[in-house]
Amino acid sequence: MKFNELILILKRLFNNYVKKYFSRLLLALFLSLIVAGSTASIAWLLDPAIKKIFIDNDQTYKYLIPFLIIISFSAKGISLYLARINVIKVGSWIGGELQKQLANKILLSDVEQLENKHSGKYVSNVLYDASLVTNLVSTAVLNIMKDSATLLALVFVMFYQNWKLSIFAMIMMPLAAIFAKSLGKRVGKATGESGIIAGNLTTFLSEIIRGSRMIRIYQSEDRENLNAIKSVNSFIDKQIKVSSIMIRATPIMEALTGIMIAGFIFYSGILISNGQLQINNFFSFLTAMMLAYQPIRSLATINMVLHSGCAGAKRVFEVIDQPIKIKNEIQKPDLKIINSDIKFKNIGFKYEATKDKAIQNVNLEVKGGTMSAFVGHSGAGKSTIINLIPRFYDPQSGSILIDDQNIKEVNLKSLRKNISLVSQDVILFDASIRENISYANPKANEEDIIKSCEFAAADEFISKLPEKYDTIIGENGIRLSGGQKQRISIARAVLKNSPIILLDEATSSLDAESEEIVQNAIKNLTINKTTLVIAHRLSTIHSADKIFVIKNGYLLDFGSHKDLIANCDEYKSLYQKQLK
């Protein structure tokens, strides 16, 4: 990471996050000054201790100096504890704030944006990268304040005792700073690579958990285990590399300290023999110099912590700064539902990840309160049309109107409030059945929930469960059958009671018995609603008021089942293939 980029990230962290806790940092600074003063006083007290107690045999100092040393150590310990608690809180709060912003960004981001990045990468941003920023604030900030102040106080004591020895000791400090700068760059690079690998590992783990059944049926346990070992080893190797760089300062600092102490003792011997240094000044200076070793070593690693934390902050900010194209604009008027008529005017849409358009020049009308179905081969563009209505995506050309209101020109929340979606990919949470159904309306009472389940033919199987509506269904409803999950999804849509219903192949993965139950539930759901259906079995949409035939992104034809059988070769071909 370049120096200019590092400074920009640190400025942003300070202005947007650290600044609001400035009073706590001032308190930590004040406590750090007490730590510095008490540390320096310990070194300084050895001067009168040796002179007054051991040389002059002064009985007053015999009691006073040990008492003052106890006071100094106690003040240092209490102040250091309070300072650390303060800064740890600030670091945790800032890390938590970044995690909240990431979560909020994920919740509000465009669907297409989320689909272009694996969920494991987002998890890594929240758990790994934000923790690096927490460490940056809680460790680096305190160390800069505490160790800088302590070092200055100890240097003052050293100069007070003997300026010649102090100048000799100062020669070694720039060497530590130069070494730390070099290591900091390496840590920043290694931490950036480590963050990417952590994201890959999270991605891999989420996939083997989600694909556990597929792995077993294809007997891929050994292969995936090798992949797991490879991924974990890669992460461990990178962590070891980061840690080894971090502690690389230790042998260098030890060597520098050894050289400094050896030179100090040699030079002190000369000064003492010449009468320029007293033995009490020597021990006080030696203590100050030895105590200065810890803050020098700590400050030598600050550059590494800064690069590591800024590398994590950079990845977090990349997510937070992603622009949101489809967002709620509260200044726009609410959608006013009259008949729930839907119109597509010259709609064209292309996914970012593809070259060809998914749909082109689509014009269609759906009358309010009727059922319209979309048919066509896989990839024809049926789901794309459905997904444009709640603005999961926005078309690049044309406009979509609901009761003659352009959906781009109305409040997004009011638009989605009036739409329910039941798809083949049922999304359920690892919570109770009641909580999953009431997700559509958290204020719904028990009676409303039970009625919606009866309407969706779900109450029958729910009442047979040991915990009934309080049954925990597992991750994405793993403890339920496909038909049961779908009926829960329909009950949720019933509870929402929206005027527009979108059904995206809601019965495609069900057996005949479950499909019949779910189809009856769907009939209840769609009574007097504007319903758009994608169905893989054409026999289920005979009763649709209008059927749209989609081919290669174009609207080929539309009409009733009877009309299309008579006049549309594409529809007739699709229908006859299913009869075979």
Identify the residue with better confidence: 372 or 192.
372
Q: Tell me: pLDDT of 509 over 70.
A: no
The answer to whether the CB of 483 falls within 8 A of the CB of 517 is: yes
Tell me the pLDDT band of 539, cut-offs 50, 70 and 90.
low
pTM attached to this predicted model? 0.76
Model confidence at 260, in pLDDT bands (50, 70, 90)?
confident
Report DSSP state, residue 406: E
Give the pLDDT confidence score for residue 401 in this predicted structure. 92
Q: What is the rounded CA–CA span in Å between residue 277 and residue 400?
A: 90
Give the pLDDT confidence score for residue 11 in this predicted structure.
Answer: 87
Candidate from 12-21, 308-317, 446-455, 472-481 with smallest mean pLDDT:
472-481
The single-letter code of the amino acid at 392 is: F
Q: What is the mean pLDDT of the chain?
A: 81
Instruction: Report d(CA 448, CA 227) in Å as an integer.
Output: 49
Q: What average pLDDT does this structure show over 165-180?
A: 67
Pairwise CA distance, residues 389 & 539, whole Å: 25
Whether pLDDT at 142 is above 80: yes
Given a cut of 70, whether residue 425 has pLDDT beyond it is yes
- The answer to whether residue 190 scores a pLDDT higher than 70 is no
Q: With a cut of 70, say whether residue 535 has pLDDT above it.
A: yes
Find out whether 157 and 337 touch, Cβ atoms under 8 Å.
no
pLDDT digits 0-9 by tens, 359-398: 888 898 889 888 888 888 888 888 888 889 988 888 888 9
Phi, psi (rounded to 5 degrees) for 368: -60, 140
Q: Provide the pLDDT confidence category of residue 506 given band limits of 50, 70 and 90.
A: low
For 309-411, where are the E strands, in sequence order? 342-349, 359-366, 371-375, 397-402, 405-406
In this structure, are residues 377 and 353 in contact, taking their beta carbons and an 8 Å threshold? no
Predicted local confidence at residue 406, as pLDDT: 92
Q: Which amino acid is at 567?
A: N
Residues 401, 407: Cα–Cα separation, whole Å? 6
Element (H, E) at 503: strand 500-504
Residue 376's contacts (CB-CB under 8 Å, 6 or more residues apart) are: 382, 549, 550, 551, 556, 570, 574
Q: How many Å apart are CA 180 and CA 301, to the nearest integer? A: 6
Please provide the size of the chain in residues. Answer: 580
Q: What are 299's two structure tokens?
A: 């400050």
Write down the pLDDT at residue 413.
Answer: 87
Q: What value does the mean pLDDT take over residues 1-9?
A: 79
Q: What is the mean pLDDT of residues 172-190?
A: 60
Token pair for 156: 């003052």
438 within 8 A of 493, measured Cβ to Cβ: no
Report pLDDT digits (tens) over 290-340: 777 778 777 767 777 787 888 888 888 988 888 888 888 888 898 898 888
